[in-house]
Structure 1
Amino acid sequence: MEFKEVQPKEIIQHDHPLILEDLQLMYQNYQEDDDDFDDQDLINMQKFECKCDVCGYRIDWYHRYYYRCSQSSCSYSLHKSCRELSTTLRFPAHLVHTLRLKKSLNSWSCHSCLTEHLAGICYHCSTCDYEIDLRCATFAEQTMIHHPGHPHPLTSITLDPIMSKCYACGKKHEGVFYHCSTCFYFSIHVDCVTLPFKLSLEHHVHKLTLSYSFTVIPYHSKCRICVTSISERDWRYKCSKCRYYVHLDCALSRGEPFMSIFSHGTGKSDKNFKAADYPNLLHYPLPDDSYNIIPHHLLRGDYRHFDQIKSDNMHPSHPHPLLLINAPGTLHNPMERIKLLCNGCVRPITTTPLYGCTMRCNFFLHEWCTRLPSELENHPGHPLHPLSLFHSPPSELAYTGFKCNICGLCCNGFGYVCSVCDYLVDVHCGFIPERLTHEAHPNHLLSRVEASSIQSTSSTLACHACGITINGGEFCFRCGFCDFYLDNRCALHLPKTIKNKYDRHRLKLSYSPIENHKSEYFCEVCEEELIPEIWFYHCQECGQSIHSACAPLILRSEQGVNDSLNDWRGVCKFINMKFGRLVTFYRSHPHPMLLIPGTKIHGRCSFCFGELQSLLIFKCYTCKLAFHVSCGPKNPHGRFLGLLGRLMLARKRRIKPKEELEHHETAIVTFYPNEVMRPVTGHWKIVDGQP
């Protein structure tokens, strides 16, 4: 067998100069926000493949560097390792002698892979007559890949599948893994290696980009498909134009018909009920500003005894005659900062007819609130005894209201009570529906269940709207087909749209971050940060957003009520309270006091010196006194230490200087303002759940 020694430059017989190309250069300079970058160019670059004219094997994107002919009309290409061949080689299987680069003039067989060759370039040991082909000589280079998600080369060191945890997706897999010899911890499954750089999902308008880290991880970011948290170290797909993030396996899952359900109503799913079987089914959110379920139930229910206006225009709930008002007149209108609340259901009055007090004492009733059933039987929360309608809370709760046993909210409007057990519910919870549908989960029926009866896979049950834990004794609405829950407050008490004086458009209830909105969200009412992964109101045209709990607080006098994080979630904690009524503590304080929601400007309690913000308080605007409802008398006629005396005694015992408790009383106005096993990357496009 005849071999002739050659030089590397004799192997590369090409007339044109060669250029070293970096296949990943475009990716390294890629900027997601730059519209000058063509996504298709990046996709084509990742799918790049050609043949090496020296060794005859494939050149791909994962080699990263290769040589090409400088002439655009010539397709001559070389591996970087083939272009930079050495004249000598120390081969691991033949370390006794050094192999030299030679050219065989006859047929020969590679001693490493036993491949037969007719002629060609090889590395040869003349002492042992041992030769290997270029593929085996450059095996290490051929098994090595360069991935833009890691700064060091990666090598597959196993032939058989292994079980290991993948760094990219954070999950355990069995299969081929690529490892980094520099970073001990970095090991990545071949499926994650071959993920496409760009991905299209049917339910999102923009292409998603494979992201290897968060520069700044957004607070409370969740996968938009499975609605669970995204780890800051795991790879994910994200949109450069929206606050849209998805797990790798969620983005590429296919064939599971239920997956679209977790996209908060944006995906497609089959309807699991027939509308004809539920003729009285309520569809939420309700379209009107009053978000009132009472008239819907009164129209569909069969009640024998009703509360009603008497012939002399008197109503048992009020000492003065009531006047039926049919003219539009001045109704509840946040655009004009007009607040008109019903004393019965404590909801905005936005339509006529209505009843108003002839003595102008700020007493108003919806027309339907004068026709409430006087008794409710078999209530789901208290089926043992009937519940009777009452127009004002028991005497000791007459001013501060009562706490509803269903929703847990304070209420000073009408309600239903069990005379045996003192079980209290507000009028809305008195008519809590058994089933409903919701726009956030449109094709599946939601059924009323008690949270303690649900066998959840997780330790806690959380509302999909606000993220707050649903306690065991609470009622919630559940999809029997999906892991979807809504507490009764978010399900029933949030309207579809709201109005804001500083936005000429109506703000719509949104169930996830808005498309084409990448910046942070801030509430136009309280001016605090807004977490768009929980429900909120948003105007697409103007980009304005409002916490769902701040929606009823658009009026000037109510701003600054919310304080803690939970106060901004779900519904307003004072949604069932009507404020503005004067209370007189005859023997304790000489001036009338107002029951109001505490804000920051009210400072601290005159008794316990605790914060007043976001709590029910009594306020005297004559003496500038303010104190928690719990610190005051339970009965306005009862005897207790006078406010002024208590205040003087407390001031003597206080530790903090007087200046810390002095507050400016002027109202604050807030304005809204993947031969050698090499990975092959395919181009994925999810359409109707199939790639």
Structure 2
Amino acid sequence: MGSITVVKDQLFPHFSHGCPLSLVYFQQPNHKNENSNEEDENEEKDDVVEEVRHGGQCGMCEEQIWSFHVCYYYCKSCDYSLHKFCAELPMTLQNNPSHPDHNLELHTYKFEYKCNVCNLKRKNAYFSSCNTCYYFVDIACATMSEQKINHPSHRHQLERMFGQIVSSCVACGNEHRGVFFQCITCPIFRINLQCAWLPTKLLIQVSTNGNKFYPRCRVCDDKFEFHLWIYKCDKCRYYVHVDCATSKREPYMSIFLPASAGNINKNYTEDEHPNLLHCPFQDEGDNLLKHHMSNQKGTICTQHDGEMLNLSCHQHSLILFNKQTSVDEKMVSLHDPMKRVQLLCDGCVKPIMTAPFYMCCKYVDEQCSFVLHEWCANLPSQIQDYFDHPKHPLVLLPKIPSKFFGVFGCEVCKLPSNGFAYGCRECEYYVDINCAFIPNEITHEAHPGHFLLKVKPSTYQPCKACHWPISDWGFHCPTCDFYIHAKCALLLPREVKHKLDKHPLSLRYEPAENHIEEYFCESMHPACAPLILQSQCEQATYGYYGSGVYEFLNMKFGGKIEIKDHPHPLSFVQGIQSDGYCSNCREEDEYDKRLKYKMIFKCLECEFAIHYKCASFLFAN
């Protein structure tokens, strides 16, 4: 029970109880500014649900005594309570609205009867009756005109309406049959008894819907109507419909269920799935291919620092760096966005942040920047019965000859890539090497406790991470109808580092939970905070917010080409604002001619720059 004030000198004798009763006042909650970041240090730790602050059940009408009743009569030694209006009900009711022709007499004994007002059967309950008409009224109906409440949702006092009606409720928007409270000043304001009894602080505070932005319900993902009640926590940006918040089917509503009920358990065990992939990955140095290859026995050979490896896909020998990161007394720096150092694997196009890894022997002379993760150097030569292309085997292709500069569109994640691929040349079907090993099931912190199964939806299904429809492959929880793109689940790690902030950026699931500020010190879309440091774009605003993933996450920019009619070599980079418009483009739309955020080739000696597709056309001719 929450805080109460007992008026000790107001003892009240009542026929229903042998001990005198004390008048008890509820201490009304101190509603702080909802934007305040100050926490009440004196707040009781166990007072998480405000509506445990009630006075128990009334011994007269057998209905609950809630905090909005303001006060009640109570015997502490016997734990006996009465509504104030029930306890003060006179022995004779004159001109009662339910039976104005005769007086109603209050009986001091309990009896089994049927109330002539609400038509409910009462067993061993107090009542008032008309001795002339044999008319019975239960105590709840007899005190109807006295049942006024001060509810936090409305500035005026509310009165209980007489009888049971069918009406819509301004709190939840649903139609109800039963007891309603109505404002006499504002007759349109009418709430049903169930909504009037809702906790005003259900781990989160109840409020009318007046928000600075347009959130969606965290339970059903639907929109809010501006005039209906919601439960919200502005500090955490957690918003839910009243109905969704009080649904006993929801895991966090187990507080409303009997003991041992409502516990939500995982639908899998770790022992039965030892290689189950848990997403998101820890950081940008971790990825799907690393986990897959580490689970394949014998695929990675134990070699020593400095040993050489020759691959048919590369013209120079590769050196293994195991414990050291230097060669010929020259330091080799691992990938570090904080120091603006980029080291991307040419196979999976993911950062190399730990040893061992392979590097071209010509790297230190700046003749060749080819590097490989150890697991990317030990990939299988082909894949049989691939889930999205089962009719032909997929062959490992370090570069796709038919694709200019090795750039292809992955058939699974739909992102461009110039890394290694598995492909079927007969069908012109190619996937990047990470997507080649997508598992059938994963788990994800955004939806804990349940398997997510690999699916390709046949109907419109929005991704919970980016809200864009899943037109390609994704993962689905059939129990909760939760969907997420495969690329959003597998390519966004738990934590990243960015050159614009000295602190690590952690992945958050909308809305940002468990944070007392309105914003983080730095907060941005995942697509606007790419993991790859593009050295040519250090001052550019990165990204392309077409999904939850940075568009060029699987691209390794660099390298040069020469084309006819231009005297200088062109470098392969990502376009920035200052690059302007394509020097060769014949697109009619001005926006399409822009080079910003696109794959381009540009001259570092003059202002000449062209789109990737224009360069491919000029190079071919």
Q: TM-score over 0.5 for the alignment?
A: yes
Aligned residue number for residue 599 of structure 1: 576
- Quick check: 1:638 aligned with 2:589? no
Contact 1:583 1:593 in 2 (8 A): yes
User: SS state of the match for residue 393, structure 1?
Assistant: coil
How do 1:658-677 residues align onto structure 2 when only pairs under 5 Å count?
none
Aligned residue number for residue 430 of structure 1: 436
- The amino acid that maps onto 2:427 is C
Q: Which of 189, 192, 213 pairs up with 1:189?
A: 192
Q: What is the distance in 1 between the residues matched to 2:438 and 2:533?
A: 27
Contact 1:291 1:493 in 2 (8 A): no
- Quick check: 1:378 aligned with 2:385? yes
Contact 2:51 2:198 in 1 (8 A): no
- The amino acid that maps onto 1:377 is Q
Aligned residue number for residue 356 of structure 1: 359
TM superposition shift of 1:65: 10
TM superposition shift of 1:293: 2.1
User: SS state of the match for residue 212, structure 1?
Assistant: strand
Q: Which of 302, 321, 327 pairs up with 1:325?
A: 321
User: SS state of the match for residue 549, structure 2?
Assistant: coil
The alignment yields a C-alpha RMSD, in angstroms, of 4.8
Using structure 2 for the length normalisation, give the TM-score.
Answer: 0.71
Aligned residue number for residue 468 of structure 2: 468
Distance 1:548 1:562, change over 3 A: closer
User: SS state of the match for residue 443, structure 1?
Assistant: strand
TM superposition shift of 1:114: 4.7
Once the two structures are overlaid, the 10-residue window that deviates more, 616-625 or 572-581, is: 616-625
Give CA deviations for 1:374-431 in whole Å, capped at 9, x if unaligned. 21110001001111111112344325x1101111000011101112111111111111
Aligned residue number for residue 113 of structure 2: none
- The amino acid that maps onto 1:382 is H
- Quick check: 1:622 aligned with 2:616? no
- Quick check: 1:208 aligned with 2:194? no
TM superposition shift of 1:145: 3.4
Aligned residue number for residue 218 of structure 1: 213
User: SS state of the match for residue 188, structure 1?
Assistant: strand
TM superposition shift of 1:461: 1.1
TM superposition shift of 1:189: 1.4
- The amino acid that maps onto 1:552 is L
Distance 1:427 1:559, change over 3 A: farther
How do 1:405-444 residues align onto structure 2 when only pairs under 5 Å count?
405-444=411-450
TM superposition shift of 1:520: 3.4
- The amino acid that maps onto 1:427 is I
How do 1:22-41 residues align onto structure 2 when only pairs under 5 Å count?
30-32=32-34, 33=36, 35=39
Distance 1:278 1:194, change over 3 A: closer
Q: What is the distance in 2 between the residues matched to 1:258 and 1:629?
A: 51
TM superposition shift of 1:550: 1.2
User: SS state of the match for residue 170, structure 2?
Assistant: coil
Q: What is the distance in 1 between the residues matched to 2:452 and 2:468?
A: 18
Give CA deviations for 1:330-379 in whole Å, capped at 9, x if unaligned. 11112221100011111111222222223332121122222222211100
- The amino acid that maps onto 1:619 is K
Which sections of structure 2, spanning at least 5 residues, go unmatched?
1-11, 13-22, 73-82, 89-93, 109-138, 255-261, 326-331
Distance 1:344 1:78, change over 3 A: closer
Q: What is the distance in 2 between the residues matched to 1:417 and 1:149?
A: 62
How do 1:44-59 residues align onto structure 2 when only pairs under 5 Å count?
47=54
Q: What is the distance in 1 between the residues matched to 2:453 and 2:213?
A: 34
Give CA deviations for 1:419-474 in whole Å, capped at 9, x if unaligned. 2111111111111112222333343222212212xxxxxx7312222222112xx2
TM superposition shift of 1:175: 2.4
Aligned residue number for residue 369 of structure 1: 376
- The amino acid that maps onto 2:467 is G
Q: Which of 271, 277, 281 pairs up with 1:286?
A: 281
- The amino acid that maps onto 2:612 is V
Q: What is the distance in 2 between the residues matched to 1:512 and 1:375?
A: 39
Q: Which of 237, 242, 246 pairs up with 1:243?
A: 237
Q: What is the distance in 1 between the residues matched to 2:318 and 2:140?
A: 98
Aligned residue number for residue 272 of structure 1: 267
Distance 1:520 1:44, change over 3 A: closer
Aligned residue number for residue 132 of structure 2: none
TM superposition shift of 1:44: 8.9
User: SS state of the match for residue 435, structure 2?
Assistant: helix
TM superposition shift of 1:208: 2.3
Q: What is the distance in 2 between the residues matched to 1:562 and 1:404?
A: 21
Q: What is the distance in 1 between the residues matched to 2:319 and 2:32?
A: 69
Distance 1:188 1:559, change over 3 A: farther
User: SS state of the match for residue 594, structure 1?
Assistant: strand
Q: What is the distance in 2 between the residues matched to 1:438 and 1:513?
A: 16
Contact 2:217 2:240 in 1 (8 A): yes
Q: What is the distance in 2 between the residues matched to 1:78 and 1:443?
A: 48
- Quick check: 1:149 aligned with 2:153? yes
Q: Which of 380, 384, 389 pairs up with 2:396?
A: 389
Q: What is the distance in 1 between the residues matched to 2:468 and 2:383?
A: 30
Aligned residue number for residue 577 of structure 1: 555
- The amino acid that maps onto 2:601 is F
- Quick check: 1:315 aligned with 2:280? no
Aligned residue number for residue 475 of structure 2: 477
TM superposition shift of 1:137: 14
Contact 1:523 1:547 in 2 (8 A): no
Q: What is the distance in 1 between the residues matched to 2:141 and 2:243?
A: 38
- The amino acid that maps onto 1:462 is P
Larger RCO: 1 or 2 (CA < 8 Å, sep 6+): 1
TM superposition shift of 1:574: 0.6
Q: What is the distance in 1 between the residues matched to 2:360 and 2:235?
A: 54
- The amino acid that maps onto 1:390 is L
Q: What is the distance in 2 between the residues matched to 1:58 and 1:379?
A: 62
TM superposition shift of 1:48: 6.9
Q: Which of 487, 496, 499 pairs up with 2:497?
A: 499
User: SS state of the match for residue 616, structure 2?
Assistant: coil
- The amino acid that maps onto 1:623 is C
- Quick check: 1:550 aligned with 2:529? yes
TM superposition shift of 1:489: 0.3
User: SS state of the match for residue 620, structure 2?
Assistant: coil
Q: What is the distance in 2 between the residues matched to 1:613 and 1:259?
A: 49
Contact 1:405 1:423 in 2 (8 A): yes
- Quick check: 1:340 aligned with 2:323? no
Give CA deviations for 1:178-211 in whole Å, capped at 9, x if unaligned. 2345545432111111122233xxxxxxx422x3
Distance 1:230 1:560, change over 3 A: farther
Aligned residues: 530
TM superposition shift of 1:46: 6.6
Contact 1:553 1:559 in 2 (8 A): no
Contact 2:342 2:532 in 1 (8 A): no
Once the two structures are overlaid, the 10-residue window that deviates more, 319-328 or 381-390, is: 319-328
Q: What is the distance in 2 between the residues matched to 1:60 and 1:280?
A: 52
- The amino acid that maps onto 1:511 is Y
